[in-house]
Amino acid sequence: MAPIAVGDVVPDGTISFFDENDQLQTASVHSLAAGKKVILFGVPGAFTPTCSMKHVPGFIEKAEELKSKGVDEIICFSDVYICCLVL
């Protein structure tokens, strides 16, 4: 499989996430991104020191700048098994 590049349509899949009310939800990637400009990035070990201190902060710090350039959503994901181990 070729690497995903800027502007590509990513393969669809189902993701699980907690909404603003801490309720577990599921949705397809395509439904979350439909009609939007989305940044989708993954971290290898959610809630680990490296991911929490090195990977994620840059996106948080630049969120407003990215949104001012037309980005609608910034979605971070990790392996479900890693998340379950931590939670």
Q: Give the residue numbers marked as catalytic.
A: 51
For tokens 């948080």, name the residue: 60
For tokens 């990513």, name the residue: 10
Asked whether 38 and 30 are in contact (CB, 8 A), the reply is no
Sequence-distant (6+) residues with CB within 8 A of 77 are 15, 40, 41, 42, 43
